[in-house]
């Protein structure tokens, strides 16, 4: 179908990687809806004719209502990018129930909620593209991040299973696994930690949100017809 009529949804688009993905898709000509929680940052999208909705992805009722609103407006949904995510780091032996549950609920249940809400219209359309933002930590693990790593490994399992469920309906489902990308989430690194990190990245720089956005842009584009169920790393070679 004509690119200009395609409708995309990006979660967690108020900042960081999600914001860059949303801007990239907007530049590509998508009709765009974004989810986030920060009202002031959401309002910045409205000036660009984007439908910006205050949605906590961990709340299924909020997600269902917002997807309904998108369908009322455009009658279809072609692309869903599940990007919203948080960290609550700490060693397992000291991790609170709340830190475990909040991260799983946002990072994994949030992806489930959005996928379940968009899959029926995509099946009806017999086309769709879903990209879930995982992490290299979901593949390799990371000390101090059992909750985050478990949530991202869960996202990878969900992605592969859903890809198999809906492939016959021409819906492609993939995950991207960023390495270290410069956003609020990673800005807490000290200069010393950053220097150590760079030694492990063959491309010798941390990533920019746009590096991930361009990969997502390809995966949801008409140029991608034969890639599904994959986890594509965007990490400067960190995990080679």
Among 128, 180, 211, 231, which residue sits at the site for ligand NDP (rule: CB under 6 A)?
180
Q: Is 124 exposed, middle or buried (0-12, 13-18, 19+ CB in 10 A)?
A: exposed
- C-alpha 76/C-alpha 4 separation (Å) is 13
**Per CB under 6 A, does 38 bind ligand NDP?**
yes
3-state secondary structure (DSSP) of residue 31: strand
Report in angstroms how near the CB of residue 170 gets to ligand NDP at its nearest: 26
- Least separation in angstroms between residue 85's CB and ligand NDP is 2
Question: Binding ligand NDP by CB under 6 A: which of 30, 81, 85, 201?
Answer: 85
Residue 137 contacts residue 178 (beta carbons within 8 Å): no
* Stretch binding ligand NDP (CB under 6 A), from 53-61, 69-77, 91-99, 214-222: 53-61
**Tokens of residue 25, six digits:** 């898709």
What is the full DSSP assignment across 207-226? B-HHHHHHHHHHHTSTT-SS
Q: Residue 159 interacts with ligand NDP (CB under 6 A)?
A: no
d(C-alpha 191, C-alpha 214), whole Å: 28
Q: Give the nearest distance from C-beta 229 to ligand NDP in angstroms.
A: 19
In sign, the C-alpha dihedral spanning 213, 218, 220, 226 is negative
145 binds ligand NDP (CB under 6 A): no
Q: Is 14 in the site for ligand NDP (CB under 6 A)?
A: yes
Decide: is 37 part of the binding site for ligand NDP (CB under 6 A).
Answer: yes
CB of 5 to ligand NDP, least distance (A): 26
Total interface residues for ligand NDP by CB under 6 A: 32
What is the distance between the alpha carbons of residues 20 and 181, in angstroms, rounded to a whole number?
Answer: 12
Collapsing DSSP to helix, strand or coil, 171 comes out as strand
Among 32, 80, 181, 201, binds ligand NDP (CB under 6 A): 181
Q: How far is residue 91 from each of residues 96, 135, 145, 147, 152, measured CA to CA in Å?
A: 10, 19, 7, 10, 17
Q: Tokens in use for 36?
A: 């986030």
Sole binder of ligand NDP in the list 52, 77, 81, 83 (CB under 6 A) = 83
| Using rule CB under 6 A, residue 185 touches ligand NDP | yes
CA distance 174 to 132: 6
Segment interacting with ligand NDP (CB under 6 A) among 45-53, 64-72, 79-87, 120-128: 79-87
Is 84 a binding residue for ligand NDP by CB under 6 A? The answer is yes
146 is an interface residue for ligand NDP by CB under 6 A = no
Whether 148 is catalytic is: yes
- Which residues are the active-site residues? 148
Binding site for ligand NDP (CB under 6 A): 11-18, 35-38, 41, 55-58, 83-86, 106, 110, 133, 135, 178, 180-181, 183-186
């Amino acid at each position: 179908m004509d690119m200009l009529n395609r409708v995309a949804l990006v979660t967690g688009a108020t900042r960081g990687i999600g914001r860059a993905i949303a801007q990239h898709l907007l530049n590509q000509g998508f009709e765009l809806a974004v989810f986030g929680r920060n009202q002031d940052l959401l309002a910045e999208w409205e000036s660009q004719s984007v439908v910006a909705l205050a949605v906590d992805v961990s709340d299924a009722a909020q997600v269902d209502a917002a997807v309904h609103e998108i369908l009322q407006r455009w009658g279809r949904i072609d692309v869903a990018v599940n990007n919203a995510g948080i960290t609550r780091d700490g060693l397992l032996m000291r991790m609170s129930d709340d830190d475990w549950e909040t991260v799983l609920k946002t990072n994994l249940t949030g992806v489930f909620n959005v996928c379940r809400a968009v899959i029926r219209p995509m099946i009806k359309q017999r086309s769709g593209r879903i990209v879930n933002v995982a992490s290299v930590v979901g593949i390799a693990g990371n000390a101090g991040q059992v909750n985050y790593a478990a949530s991202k490994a869960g996202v990878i399992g969900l992605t592969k299973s859903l890809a198999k469920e809906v492939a016959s309906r021409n819906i492609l489902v993939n995950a991207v696994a960023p390495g270290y990308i410069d956003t609020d989430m990673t800005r807490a690194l000290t200069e010393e930690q950053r220097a150590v990190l760079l030694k492990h990245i063959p491309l010798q720089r941390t990533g920019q949100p746009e590096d991930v956005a361009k990969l997502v842009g390809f995966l949801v584009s008409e140029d991608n017809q034969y890639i599904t169920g994959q986890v594509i790393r965007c990490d400067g070679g960190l995990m080679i």
